[in-house]
Amino acid sequence: MSRRIHPAVAAAQPFQLAERDEIQGPLLGTPEGSERLEMVLSRYPEKRAALLPLLSFAQEKRGWVSPSDMEEVAAALDLTPAYVHSIATFYTMYNKHPVGRHLVQVCTCISCHLNRGDEVLDAFLREVGAREGEISADGDFTVIEAECLGACGFATVVQVNDEYFEDVTPEGVAAIVSELRSRE
Amino acid sequence: MSFPHRHELETTTILSQYHGDAEARTLAGWLERGGYERLRTAAMMEPDEITGVVKDSGLRGRGGAGFPTGLKWSFMPKDDGKPHYLCCNADESEPGAFKDREILRWTPHLLIEGCMIAARAIRAEHVYIYVRGEFFPYTRILNEAVTEAYDGGYLGDDVMGTGWTCDVTVHAGAGAYIAGEETGLMNSLMGDRAEPWMKPPFPAQAGVFGLPTTVNNVETLATVPGILEHGAEWYRQWGTEKSPGTKLWCCSGHLAKPGNYELALGVPLEDIIYDVCGGTPNGKTVRAVIPGGSSTAFLTADELDCATTYEGLQEVGSSLGTASPIVMDESTCLLRAMRRVAQFYAHESCGQCVQCREGTAWVARILERIEAGDGELRDIDTLYELCVQMTGRTICVLADSVVFPLRSSLDKFRDEYEAHIRTGSCTAR
């Protein structure tokens, strides 16, 4: 994945992807990691502003933000690991544990609630055979309930990794799950 | 009400004319549609001249509060020798609202152009576009547009050969409703929790990185190029004296044709619901509408003849907010709907202020209990008491935002709450 990233958009790279590098070692020590760090830092007058972009980078690479990522990011930005942890736990999109290949977020907020969002959530949980927040046995899915995803006119809205699925009905869930399963 | 339709209402597409036109989102396509000419004009104008045009147009902030945009810009200091910043608030997360998403997705260059013109007006050297984290597909489109604009010489050093320098950076959030509040947004941008701060200091005095900052909504900024091109009087041909122009309406809930519609401000709300959106999908009666996103007061079906202006919705005790009517038909349990709204705020409270952290959670828990059949009549008094304690006592208006729908639903649908408590089950449907 060596497409060119302009520094102006380095702090806004999509970070919940089905394809992950599943890196085992350090996050920022790699050529890609140090390049991202440099690009992000170049856009702000203060180092700390790079914190969210770097936590997002960890999730982009790993699928979640690990304690060692938090320590590395803290060291790179002269922050304490405890402070970084307080940020990672404030923002709901950071996964503090690994998630399935497809992170399915079902909106059940008011407009989706009025359009059977709760039933869509139940249908996903039934179809993948896991409880909310758990990784399914095949490792393919983690299903969670989400607050408003900002597409209320197309309820029920479901986000799968970096994609939006709109106008989802409980009846349509099985087809979505099987299509996702079949993806390489 | 008047369903079937009384008449066809025309949409006015000055902001959304290219929505659905995929070529408009590329730089080449945007240039073919006259793109970046307004930026060239602005880059040669004096900052105060731009602010003057926007002031005269009467444009009001589209993020929910409706503050006059030109006036906000005029608060920025002049000749202070410090760097200034513009933050574009693309953290769209008010339940019911999905308009900024459409602008990002179809006309990213329009937004960039608007950001640059505003930056010129407030003498900013850097624009941060803070996009909500979940908006991956739309952030990708915006990223592509910003990259193209840099490569084309429209951003950065020597903008369009005019000698003016201004940068744009896209910054993604990571899931926090409160990052949509302007001081929360700036804290988040600085790598902190998105906790709002007490004003003063106001952003124009000490905003992001402690420097003078203006925060404007996506729709506000996307409206600016048109105003600059055609003038203030042109913009004032739509709307009213106090609410000029057009507005993107985000219509959701029980509607036959939900979606995004751009309309001149001032048309009756019922026309939007029945004419534009075709009423309910199955011909059921409309029971209630939250007109401006979930933070605004409920209206009953007989209150929908109000004018959709800032002042018109205020007259009926609600507000225009983000112009996001959420429509509920006769089958809706309003207690349940209110419970779901309350859970949202309980989830999204940042936790700094006791009245909000505890209040939102209590409201949600009491409503859950009533819904489960374990309510008591005195719960209604407790909810009213919470409304008092949660109003005007916190750093930001998140706590007030749950009070608006809660108090209005208690006032207008009290019989339904009481019936729930008495019978232990729902009487709707």
Residue B252: its chain A contacts at CB < 8 A?
111, 114, 152-153, 155
Cα B308 to Cα B208: distance, rounded to the nearest angstrom: 34
Amino acid identity of B227? Answer: I
pLDDT of residue B12: 82
Nearest Cα to A150, choosing from A119, A111, A120, A95? A111
Question: Inter-axis angle of helices B414-423 and B354-371, to 10 degrees?
Answer: 60
Whether residues A92 and B97 touch (CB distance < 8 A) is answered with: no
Using an 8 Å Cβ cutoff, are B67 and B73 in contact? no
Q: Are strands B167-172 and B213-217 parallel, antiparallel or unpaired?
A: unpaired
Helix, strand and coil in chain A, % to nearest 5? 45, 10, 45
- CB contact at 8 A, B313 and B290: no
SS3 B108: helix
- Quick one: pLDDT at residue A112? 97
Please, is A29 exposed, middle or buried when counting C-beta atoms within 10 Å of its C-beta (0-12, 13-18, 19+)? exposed
In this prediction, residue B10 carries a pLDDT of 73
Residue of A nearest to B143 (CA): A9
Model pLDDT for residues B16-42, shown as the tens digit of each residue:
999 999 999 999 999 999 999 999 999
The reply to whether the predicted model has a pTM over 0.90 is yes
- DSSP for residue B276: I
Q: To 10 degrees, what angle do helices B334-348 and B398-412 make?
A: 170
Query: Between B96, B139, B171, which is nearest A111 by CB?
Result: B96
Q: What pLDDT, in 10s, does the model give residues A10-68?
A: 999 999 999 887 777 789 989 999 999 999 999 999 999 999 999 999 999 999 999 99
CB proximity list for B302: less than 8 A, separation 6 or greater: none
For residue B352, pLDDT beyond 90: yes
Token output for A72: 């590395």
B253–A159 C-beta distance less than 8 A:
no
Q: Specify whether the CB–CB gap between B137 and B55 falls below 8 A.
A: no
On the CB side of B287, CA atoms within 13 Å amount to 19
Compute the average pLDDT of residues B325-340: 97
Which residues on chain B are in Cβ contact (under 8 Å) with A93? 133-134, 174-175
| Least CB–CB distance from A48: residue in B190, B328, B344 | B190
In eight-state DSSP terms, residue B23 is G
Task: Say yes or no for a CB contact (<8 Å) between B324 and A87.
Answer: no
Do the chains contact at A108 and B348, CB–CB below 8 Å?
no
Q: State yes or no: pLDDT of B294 exceeds 90.
A: yes
Q: What is the pLDDT of residue A2?
A: 46
Closest CB from A11, A53, A150 relative to B97: A150
Residue B284: Cβ-neighbour burial (10 angstroms; 0-12, 13-18, 19+)? middle
Range from B6-15, B359-368, B409-418 carrying the lowest mean pLDDT: B6-15
- pLDDT-derived band at B55 (thresholds 50, 70, 90) equals very high
CB nearest B175 (choices: A86, A93, A108): A93
**How far apart are the CA of A48 and the nearest CA of chain B, in angstroms?**
5
For the beta sheet containing B167-172, the strands, ordered from the edge strand earlier in sequence to the opposite edge, are B167-172, B126-131, B85-90, B213-217
Please, which residues have CB within 8 angstroms of residue B191's CB and are 6 or more apart in sequence?
A: A46, A48, A49, A50, A51, A52, A77, A87
Report pLDDT for A3.
66
Burial of B357 per CB tally in 10 Å (0-12, 13-18, 19+): middle
Q: What pLDDT digit, counting tens, does each position of A131-174 carry? A: 999 999 999 999 999 999 999 999 999 999 999 999 999 999 99
Identify whether the C-beta of residue B289 lies closer than 8 Å to the C-beta of residue B280.
no
Closest alpha carbon to B186 in B210, B202, B208, B203: B208
**Is the model's pLDDT at B123 over the cut of 70?**
yes
Task: Read off the tokens for A143.
Answer: 């299903």
Closest residue of A to B211, CA-based? A45
The CA-to-CA distance between both ends of chain B, in Å, stands at: 19
Domains A7-90 and A102-182 share a fold: no
Six-digit token pair at B315?
Answer: 């007259």
Chain B: closest CA distance from residue A114 (Å): 6
Q: Would the CA dihedral through B140, B145, B146, B147 be positive or negative?
A: positive
The mean per-residue pLDDT over the stretch B61-90 comes to 97
Containing A83, the helix (H) or strand (E) segment is helix A81-90
Q: In 3D, which of B215, B263, B262, B226 has the Cα closest to residue B65?
A: B215
Taking alpha carbons only, the member of A136, A8, A110, A24 closest to residue B296 is A110
> What distance in Å separates the CA atoms of residue B348 and residue B342, rounded to the nearest whole number?
10
Both tokens of A58, joined, read: 């960890």
Nearest CA in chain A to B349: A90
Residue B338: closest C-alpha in chain A: A110
Residue type, B114: G
What are the φ/ψ torsions at residue B69 (nearest 5 degrees)? -65, -45
Please state at what angle helix A51-62 crosses helix A31-41, rounded to 10 degrees: 150
Place B424 in a pLDDT band, splitting at 50, 70 and 90: confident
pLDDT tens-digit readout, B359-379: 999 999 999 999 999 999 999
Q: Which SS3 state, helix, strand or coil, does residue B96 take?
A: coil
Q: Which residue of A has its CA nearest to B167?
A: A8
Cβ-defined contact of B134 to A52 (cutoff 8 Å): no
- In the prediction, which pLDDT does A23 show? 75
Is A148's CB within 8 Å of B251's CB?
no
Question: By C-alpha distance, which of B201, B169, B200, B197 is closest to B181?
Answer: B197
Residue B98 has pLDDT above 80, yes or no: yes
Give me the pLDDT at residue B2, please.
36
- CA B100, chain centre distance (Å): 8
What pLDDT, on the 0 to 100 scale, is given for residue B269? Answer: 97
Query: What single-letter amino acid sits at B247?
Result: K
> How much is the pLDDT for B103?
97
- Let me know if domain A7-90 sits in CATH 3.40.630.30: no
Which residues from A are below 8 Å from B133, CB to CB?
A: 15, 56, 91, 93
Task: State the average pLDDT over residues B191-219.
Answer: 98
Beta-carbon separation of B209 and A45 below 8 A: yes
Collect all residues of chain A within an 8 Å Cβ-Cβ radius of residue B190. Answer: 46, 48-49
pLDDT at residue B429 in the model: 53
Q: In the block, which residue shows the tokens 């604009």?
A: B149
Domain ranges of chain A: 7-90, 102-182
3-state secondary structure of B226: helix
Q: Is B93 exposed, middle or buried (0-12, 13-18, 19+ CB in 10 A)?
A: buried
Structure tokens at B165: 């320098």
Other C-beta atoms within 10 Å of B285: how many?
12
- In chain B, what residues touch A45 (CB-CB under 8 Å)? 83, 209
Upper half-sphere CA count for residue A147 (Cβ side, 13 Å): 24
CA distance A178 to chain B (A): 22
What's the rounded Cα separation, in Å, for the pair A180 and B340?
29
In the prediction, which pLDDT does B78 show?
Answer: 95
Q: Which domains does chain B have, with CATH numbers?
A: 34-235 (3.40.50.11540), 246-329 (3.10.20.600), 334-423 (1.20.1440.230)
Mean pLDDT computed over every residue of chain B: 95
**Domain A102-182's class?**
alpha beta
B169 closest CB neighbour out of A43, A105, A115: A43
Q: Which residues pair with B424 in a beta bridge?
A: none
Residue A79, CA atoms < 13 Å, CB-side half-sphere: 26
Contact A6 B332 (CB under 8 A): no
Interface test with B, best of A16, A73, A90 (most B CBs within 10 A): A90
pLDDT at B8 > cutoff 90 = no
Cβ pairs A/B, distance under 8 A: 177
DSSP structure string for B322-345: TS--EEEETT--HHHHHHHHHHHH
pLDDT-derived band at B9, boundaries 50, 70, 90: low
- Residue B90: name the closest of B223, B225, B246, B216 by CA: B216
Q: Has residue B6 got a pLDDT over 80?
A: no
Please judge whether A48 and B95 are an interchain contact, meaning their C-beta atoms are less than 8 angstroms apart: no
